[in-house]
Structure 1
Amino acid sequence: MSDQLVIDTLDFVRNGKALRGSIPLHDLQRLGSYLLDSTGELTYEISGQLDDLNRPMLEIAVNATLDLSCQRCLKTIGYVLDVKTTLLLARTEDELALYDEDIFVDAIYASNELDILALVEDETILSLPVSPRHEDTGCHISAETETHEDIEKKHPFSILASLKHPH
């Protein structure tokens, strides 16, 4: 990554700070392995706040359009990324363990040196679909042969029937 942006998380929250910016996709090496094209950028916004129970948290928003590979036809999908997440900041390991027990809470350990660009990249990767695919109407197995819909209409064992004939 070109620049490292580091914050003290509890100080960031205590002072109600906010950061926003953009990151070129080619600077995010781990994310790059998921992309077909790393041109463009993503934008992020992070703010430090206290939740309703007076717990420190980071609110994170990430936006981008990413070129992913369709797992059905292997063509490009323009995936619109619009992430909004909240991370509670645990001050101790016991507090982090307590947060980890709650499936509705995302938490990280409060740090004096949290790398914001790495955090944004992590949140982006976590929000990607496991198996990106076009909608059924927009996905072709092969442009020269059959569409996905044509393949589903064939009997699944029709190829095996041809093997029964003697040579």
Structure 2
Amino acid sequence: MSVRLIIDPIDFVQNAGIRHGRIPVIDLVRLHDLLFDKEGELIYQISGRLDKNAKPGLQLEVKGKIHLNCQRCLEKLVYEIDLKTFLLLAKNEVELQQVDEDDTIDAILATPELDVINLIEDEVILGLSISSRHADGECNSLKLKSATDNPAGKKQSANPFAVLATLKKTH
């Protein structure tokens, strides 16, 4: 397990802190149920800065590849993560609720001991699709099924209802 990075986010912003590193996917335990395997790593950078209204926030960038389960064929799906987000720091629950009313702003509560690895894991999970799957025609099981449906390599009719049309004419 990699070393946890704990920061005081307000202090981190005031000191214009920057941290970067690598996180093995195996360390992202809450993500495991969504994964095909636990291979790979994520590269991150987090920096503290003020937004255009001079409010403190964290700029987070995460890149890497993870292997998800394709929901169509249940095989490995290589998923590229390229996450860039700015998280406004709310000093208390009231401020967080006010910020949450604006859907264009992402905010988190500025707790004195913020675990950066958990924050990164949260953002990765939130960025995933509800139903991850290969692009159309890329699933292995669908390719195999179509090959077994037509083992002799016979040319299939362009219109599946053409057979029905011929039956209708003959009867």
TM over 0.5: yes
Give the match for residue 159 of structure 1. none
Rounded to whole Å, the distance in 2 between the matches of 1:6 and 1:100 is: 24
Rounded to whole Å, the distance in 2 between the matches of 1:136 and 1:117 is: 34
Give the match for residue 163 of structure 1. none
Q: TM-score normalized by structure 2?
A: 0.82
1:39-60 Cα deviation digits (max 9, x unpaired)? 2211110000000100000010
Distance change in 2, residues 1:137/1:145 (3 Å): closer
Give matches, 1:23-42, under 5 Å: 23-42=23-42
1:71-127 Cα deviation digits (max 9, x unpaired)? 111111111110001100011222111101011111011111000111111111111
Distance change in 2, residues 1:154/1:79 (3 Å): farther
Q: TM-score normalized by structure 1?
A: 0.84
Give the match for residue 45 of structure 1. 45
Give matches, 1:53-68, under 5 Å: 53-68=53-68
- Give 1:3 deviation, angstroms: 2.0
- Give 1:154 deviation, angstroms: 6.0
Give matches, 1:78-97, under 5 Å: 78-97=78-97
Count of aligned pairs between the two proteins: 152
Q: 8 Å contact 2:88–2:106 — kept in the other structure?
A: yes
Q: 8 Å contact 1:48–1:57 — kept in the other structure?
A: yes
One-letter identity of the residue aligned with 1:76: K
Unaligned regions of 5+ residues in structure 1, if any?
A: 156-167
Rounded to whole Å, the distance in 1 between the matches of 2:29 and 2:116 is: 15
- Give 1:137 deviation, angstroms: 2.5
Rounded to whole Å, the distance in 1 between the matches of 2:39 and 2:31 is: 12
Structure 1 vs Structure 2: percent identity of aligned residues? 46
Give the match for residue 156 of structure 2. none
Give secondary structure in 2 for the equivalent of 1:146: helix
